[in-house]
Amino acid sequence: MKTVTLSASIVALLSGTAVSAQTPLSMWYHGAGNVVESEIINGIVSDFNASQSDYVVSLESFPQGAYNDSVIAAALAGNLPDIMDVDGPVMPNWAWAGYMQPLLIDEDVIADFLPGTKGYYNDQLYSVGFWDAAVALVTRQSILDELGLRTPTLDDPWTGDEFNAALEAAKQSGNYEYAINLGMADAGEWYPYAFSPFLQSFGGDIIDRETYQTAEGVLNGDEAMAFGEWWQGLFEAGYAPGTSQDPADLDTGFTDGRFAFSWTGNWMALNTLLAFEDTLFLPAPDFGHGPKIGAASWQFGVSATSDHPEGASAFIEFALQDEYLAAFSDGIGLIPATPTAAEMTQYYSEGAPMAVFFDLSAAQGTLRPVTPGYVVAAKVFEKALADIANGADVADTLDAAVDEIDTDIQRNNGYN
């Protein structure tokens, strides 16, 4: 630590004596490997650098798979950049651990932003997203007609019973290998992101959001048990392939016509649209406590060790302009964070094919539990879902998950 402050003061000394002192700001981004994404973010950086003379931002990109590990390693070594991006549900963990500091951005700037793009923890804004992501029940109008099903709308989504009946109808038709692709091959954050909204629609949750101190009664209460039984039933009835699903299914299963429905994100939407003209993106079914889908994607924040938080925040605020939000959306198909930006985009403007995702995100988007303990709870929940899908006893599995989450919270002094 001493050497860091020492070298920092040397840098400060040197830059103080230099003639044209532009403060360097470092920035890390998780999207290495995607050419379009790199072009957009590099464009924003050079625009910002040209727009003022106080700061120079330099960008370093990491592959997504190695990004979180790199940040953790950098934090332990005291080498965090000034600006970094963070996956929405992970942000509270990093804020709690002292990796990040609150943004110095006037909240009026983000008044119009989708709720899932605002990263609040302890009532302070730590991160902002340029985009959100949403999940929809993907199918085709011709499939609904064939199975004789009503087309659900945002105002009048399917009930749980209607959803189950639709799966049964698809199975009975015999035209599909499985009724629905849930993406079970995609182990990891997909499970809590895509499936915990079902649990919440049943009335349960991963953790008690009143206190964030326990999962008892929430993850193993009657509502959660009902969810668990329903979840297990999907696989017992043969509606969906289980955890050993072929990963290739995720990309081509629906477009090959092997599934009647697919529970997938907007990032897969473009391929489906190209394959079928009558593709539909339907809202999540309502299991009793409202239809819900996951919210929050990657967001931008300022590291706790940054010596120039005002400069880092200035960069983020600069990047929040509609034209950049629209550029990300057009480039890689993400949901732009504001309605005005959405109007500028190819896919999300009024009447455009994916505009429904913007409405879904605004209407049904539900944040994953906003607590530092989420990172561990999500892992526990993921395992519980996999075990139940594979036939484990529902009550015992959820009890065990509750015990594990509660133990973790206690061992972290309540994450306070």
Partner 1 sequence: MALPGFGLIAIFIILPFFFAIALSFTNQRLISPNPTQFIGMANYSRLLGVGVTTIQPERDDEGEIIRNAAGAPEYPRLRTIIRGNPDFANLAGMREWFSWERSDEARTIVLARDVVFMKALVNTLLFVIIVAPVQATLALGLALLINQRLRGISFYRAVYFMPVVVSIVVVSLLWRFIYDGNNGLLNNMLSALTFGWFEGHDWLGDPSTALGAIMVMSIWQAVGFHMVIWLSGLQTISPTLYEAAAIEGASKAQTFRYVTWPGLRNTAVLILIVITMQAFALFAQIDVMTNGGPRDSTQTIVFQAVERGYGRQDISGGSTISVLLFLLVLTISLIQGFLTREKT
Among 293, 264, 263, 280, residue whose Cα is nearest residue 139: 280
Tell me the CA distances in angstroms from 324 to 127, 131, 391, one per residue in order: 17, 10, 47
Which range in 27-35, 50-58, 94-102, 117-125 contacts partner 1 by CB under 8 A? 94-102
* Residue 347 and residue 268 in contact, taking contact as beta carbons nearer than 8 Å: no
x-or-dash string of contact with partner 1, 43-82, rule CB under 8 A = -----------------------------x--x-------
Cα separation, 188 vs 191, in Å, equals 6
User: Contact with partner 1 (CB under 8 A): which of 94, 190, 281, 381?
Assistant: 94
**Local structure of 372: helix, strand or coil:** coil
Radius of gyration of the chain (CA): 23
Q: Which 317-376 positions form the footprint of partner 1 (CB under 8 A)?
A: 375-376
Assess 1 for contact with partner 1 (CB under 8 A): no
Assess 395 for contact with partner 1 (CB under 8 A): yes
Which range in 81-89, 91-99, 139-147, 265-273 contacts partner 1 by CB under 8 A? 91-99
* 123 CB burial (10 A radius; 0-12, 13-18, 19+): exposed
Assess 396 for contact with partner 1 (CB under 8 A): yes
Q: Find the shortest distance in angstroms from Cβ 274 to partner 1.
A: 25
Cα separation, 132 vs 130, in Å, equals 7
Assess 93 for contact with partner 1 (CB under 8 A): yes
Q: Which is nearer to partner 1, 153 or 410 (CB)?
A: 410
Tell me the CA distances in angstroms from 396 to 198, 235, 377, 384, 392, one per residue in order: 20, 18, 17, 10, 8
x-or-dash string of contact with partner 1, 297-316, rule CB under 8 A = --------------------
Assess 122 for contact with partner 1 (CB under 8 A): no
Q: Find the shortest distance in angstroms from Cβ 129 to partner 1.
A: 22
Cα separation, 116 vs 329, in Å, equals 16
Residues in binding contact with partner 1, number by CB under 8 A? 35
Tokens of 23: 């403060």
Angle between helices 190-202 and 222-236 (to 10 degrees): 120
Assess 8 for contact with partner 1 (CB under 8 A): no
b/e per residue 167-203 (b: at least 16 CB within 10 A):
bebbbeeeebebbbbbbbbbeebbbbbbbbbbbbbbb
User: Contact with partner 1 (CB under 8 A): which of 3, 17, 20, 413?
Assistant: 413
User: Contact with partner 1 (CB under 8 A): which of 325, 380, 384, 394?
Assistant: 380
Q: Which is nearer to partner 1, 78 or 247 (CB)?
A: 247
Measured distance between the N- and C-terminal CA atoms of the chain, rounded to whole angstroms: 25
User: Contact with partner 1 (CB under 8 A): which of 24, 115, 242, 353?
Assistant: 242
Assess 379 for contact with partner 1 (CB under 8 A): yes
Binding region for partner 1 (CB under 8 A): 72, 75, 93-94, 96-99, 177, 187, 241-244, 246-247, 375-376, 379-380, 386-387, 390-392, 395-396, 399-400, 403, 407-408, 411-413
